[in-house]
Structure 1
Amino acid sequence: MSPSRTLPNFSLAELASHNTTKSCYVTMGTRVFDVTDFIESHPGGEDLVLEYGGMDVTDILKDEVSHTHSQAAYEILEDSLVGFLATEKVIGAAAGSTHPDNILPLPATEEGAKELKQNGVVNRVPVFASTGMSSEEDLVKETDLVTDYKAHKFLDLNKPLLMQMWFGGFSKDFYLEQVHRPRHYKGGASAPLFGNFLEPLTKTAWWVVPTIWLPLVAYGTYIARAGCSSLLEEGAYWFLGLFLWTLVEYILHRFLFHLDKYLPDNRVALTLHFLLHGIHHYLPMDKLRLVMPPTLFLALATPFWKLAHFVFFWNWSIATSVFCGGIFGYICYDLTHYFLHHKNLPSYWRELKKYHLQHHFMDYENGFGVTSRFWDGVFGTEIAPPPVKTL
């Protein structure tokens, strides 16, 4: 048994003061947990954690409407135990009362923190075989880098990943099994990909996407106006492009990013797959590898520019309007993708968030729609509801 470790008692006033990004505490009953380090990594965004800063989270963790949290969420709390709440019972006992209601908490030992596992969650959380995950909280449970590498002999997250992929000699089956079992890099940072001066080129902040592409979409829409018979005609073709993007989004995600079964079993194909989309499934909460780098997007967008002008060959302006509508759809897609991973959102996007994160932790072979589930419904690739939790 671990030696005793006396933990402090906190008053309600002290607890309530810990509700900022610099210091955030929550409680479950009389147990107090410091979740400051978890704020930025929370799948629902930091606002949702701060909303309950200094408060009891017992009910929200079990709330089916919000999201029933998995074993991983409780384990994160377990590792963050910092003390106990000084309720009236505790204060009374500390003052020397002998009334049977005035009961102090059990001795604060490291072993005692394991009582979190006695909340009945452990035996009723399904684990999905394809990913080894239970729910979205598993996506942000920090991976022990040394233990993970020793156990799986896949990629050492302490070292640059690209050369490990190239020289790893992984079989296709082993690679696909490992890359779809998400890890979470320490401190929410980005794992090294090149490990040299090229590293910054692999990272893109979400705001780069609208900053670069929105002005170009606006300019393209403006110059296309001259060749259209009316504003209504241009608008109709622009929205046609926006609608077509939703189909392109689905096709790219399903048949390019997830062409898993059709990958050649060689290091060139596996490394390219890892760079294109595998790294996102391997490290799904990496904030700087969630949107497409401008250079990669330019390479992917160029064929669609040519395709638009081939299909709508009779009018350059109409083709440009369709293309601009499509690029606006892409901007919405990339921003939606980022916020689904990292922010708490209004009701419509909250359902999309659940759906997309299920694609990561539950069933990566379905659920390819990001901005909409429409095409998943059309092509029969919707994610089946998770199994009902039973005691």
Structure 2
Amino acid sequence: MKTFTLEEVESHVTAEACWMVYRNKVYNVTDFVQDHPGGQDIFLQFAGTDVTSLLGDVTVHPHSDSAYDLLDEYCIGQLSSPTSPATDTDTVDLQKQTAQMGHERDLQFLDLTRPLFPQLWHATYSKAFYLEQVHRPRFTPHYVPYFSDPILDLLSRTTWYTVPLVWLPFITYQLWRSLETGDTATTTVQGFFYGAVFWTFLEYVLHRFLFHLDDLLPDHPLALLIHFTLHGIHHHMPMDRLRLVMPPALTVIISFPIFQLAKTLFIPTVTHAFMAGAFFGYVCYDMVHYYLHHAQVMKIHFKEMKRYHLAHHYKNFESGYGITSKVWDRIFGTVLELPQEA
């Protein structure tokens, strides 16, 4: 194995060349900088350093088994002069064994080098095994197709800019229809506001009671397939940029009954304004969701929501359902408590 000095490691401290040391081995983690779940800024704080003690202290910076699997892929050599004490060997060996066991379980669940849908369609594992595995996040530097057919697979993935591109014209049309059928703009503004507020509630309800319907999920392969398609794929591969925002076809299916209900309850002016507000809230939600996963966020509000949402993915998926805010989590008692930052 190639050897490096600590001085060589310490000279690689940027996003373009980021090295680290763990248990006297050298890792070139440059390709992972932008997709680190905690953000690029916290990752680069430890660039060029020995992170052995950091990763070993689960009370400070806990990592999943899959994190150690991933780390092995970036190993480029070892230190010429060891810096970590030999007394930690037993702990490290246990971590490696645990990581290896996790890796073996993952291979039994899904092969991330092949299309996922056929594997799930023919799966025979239990609901308990499925839920254990789907909530163990995996990072894949390559794109994982969902369908074997390239056309179907194209429909299953969505770029972030597709959402505003498709729905902003629809929102504009609904506002125009509201103004056209109403006597004053006040009714349109009020309807738009109520629609946006309604979306924040729907965001919480969908996330908690549809996407995380784990307890009531039937122990049947078809139910597991539907669960994985709706949201499980995002929890299993949370940093996949093309499986993060909702495909337009799924948005239409979910929104259709809401549109029909609004038409029944409201006059046309309010209906159009309400749907414009609801879809505007949805667009903001999907953009914020992508922003939290893949951007260096603003410190005001979004930094806290990034910590909050990533804790939902990596620490406790049974709470912290709010993405744009914690309002409905507070109302319904599902706030995910986070430790105070130093």
Question: Smaller-chain TM-score range?
Answer: 0.7 to 0.9
**Structure 2 residue matching 1:287: 3-state secondary structure:** coil
Please state whether the residue corresponding to 2:325 is helix, strand or coil: coil
Return the offset for 1:78: 8.3
Could you tell me whether the CA contact under 8 Å between 2:15 and 2:33 is conserved in 1?
A: no
Task: Find the residue that maps to 2:297 and give its secondary structure.
Answer: coil
Other-structure match for 2:290: 338
Residue 1 (structure 2) pairs with residue 7 (structure 1):
no
Change in Cα spacing, 1:68 to 1:228, as seen in structure 2 (3 Å) is farther
Judged with a 3 Å threshold, the aligned counterparts in structure 2 of structure 1 residues 150 and 383 are, in CA distance, closer, same or farther, namely: closer
CA distance in 2, matches of 1:278, 1:242: 26
Deviation at residue 116 of structure 1 after TM alignment: 11
- Distance in structure 1 (CA, Å) of the matches to 2:253 and 2:311: 29
Specify the alignment match of 1:183 in structure 2.
Answer: 138
Superposition deviation, residue 287 in structure 1: 0.8
Residue 57 and residue 5 in structure 1: after superposition, are their counterparts in 2 closer, same or farther (change >3 A)?
closer
AA aligned to 1:352 is M
Quote how far apart the aligned CAs of 1:322 are: 0.6
Is 1:40 aligned to 2:24, yes or no? no
Residues 117 and 146 in structure 2, CA contact (< 8 A), matched pair in contact too: yes
Partner of 1:210: 164
Superposition deviation, residue 323 in structure 1: 0.8
SS in structure 2 opposite 1:220? Answer: helix
C-alpha separation in 2, matches of 1:213 and 1:338:
16
2:211 maps to amino acid: F
| Alpha-carbon offset, residue 249 of structure 1 | 0.6
Selected match of 1:359 from 312, 317, 323: 312
Q: Deviations over 1:267-294 (max 9, x none)?
A: 1111111111111111111110000111
Alpha-carbon offset, residue 247 of structure 1: 0.5
Q: What is the number of equivalent residue pairs in this alignment?
A: 326
Conserved? CA contact 2:308–2:338, under 8 Å:
no
Inter-partner Cα distance in structure 2 for 1:219 and 1:266: 42
Structure 1's unaligned 5+ residue stretches are: 85-106, 126-132, 134-142
Q: Evaluate the alpha carbon distance shift between residue 360 and residue 7 of structure 1 in structure 2; reply closer, same or farther with a 3 A threshold.
A: same
Q: What secondary structure does 1:249 align onto? A: helix
Q: Residues 182 and 117 from structure 1, CA distance in 2 versus in 1: closer, same or farther, beyond 3 angstroms?
A: farther
Q: Give yes or no for contact 2:2–2:76 (8 Å, CA) kept in 1.
A: no
Give the distance between the partners of 1:223 and 1:205, measured in 2 at CA. Answer: 29
The offset of 1:10, in angstroms, is 5.3
**Is residue 293 of structure 1 aligned with residue 247 of structure 2?**
yes
Q: Does the aligned pair in 2 maintain the 1:48–1:344 contact within 8 Å?
A: no
1:344 CA displacement: 1.8
The C-alpha deviation readout for 1:91-126, integer Å capped at 9, x for no partner, is xxxxxxxxxxxxxxxx616xx3766996xx98xx9x
Is 1:19 equivalent to 2:19 in the alignment? no
**Residue identity (%):** 39
Q: Which runs of 5+ in 2 are unaligned?
A: none
CA offset at residue 46 of structure 1?
4.6
Conserved 8 A contact 2:38-2:307:
no
Q: Give 1:26 deviation, angstroms.
A: 6.8
Query: 1:138-165 CA deviation, whole Å, 9 max, x = no partner?
Result: xxxxx98x97345662112222211211
Larger Rg over CA atoms: 1
- 1:253 maps onto 2:225 in alignment: no
Deviation at 1:387, TM superposition (A): 11
Q: Which amino acid aligns with 1:70?
A: P
Match status 1:168 vs 2:164? no
Tell me the distance in 1 between the aligned counterparts of 2:246 and 2:72: 36
Displacement of 1:233 in angstroms is 2.4
- Output the amino acid matched with 2:157: K
The offset of 1:183, in angstroms, is 1.5
Letter in 2 for 1:228: G
Cα distance between partner residues in 2 of 1:71 and 1:370: 22
Q: Does the CA-based 8 Å contact 1:246-1:329 persist in structure 2?
A: yes
Amino acid at match of 2:161: W
1:70 aligned to which of 48, 62, 82: 62
Indicate yes or no: 2:318 matched with 1:321. Answer: no
Aligned partners of 1:113 and 1:78: how far apart in 2?
Answer: 19
In the alignment, the residues of structure 2 paired with residue 262 and residue 380 of structure 1 have an alpha-carbon distance, to the nearest angstrom, of 20
**For residues 301 and 256 of structure 1, what CA distance do their matches in structure 2 show?**
14
* C-alpha spacing 1:162/1:359, structure 2 compared with 1 (3 Å): same
Indicate the larger mover: 215-224 or 203-212. 215-224
AA aligned to 1:289 is R
Structure 1 residue 171, shift from structure 2 partner: 1.5
Distance in 2 between residues matched to 1:358 and 1:387, nearest whole Å: 13
In 2, Cα distance between the equivalents of 1:234 and 1:116? Answer: 70
Structure 2 length normalisation: TM-score? 0.80
Deviations along 1:166-209, one digit per CA (max 9) or x if unpaired, are: 21112112211111111222x1x332211331222211111111
Structure 1 position 379 matched with structure 2 position 332: yes
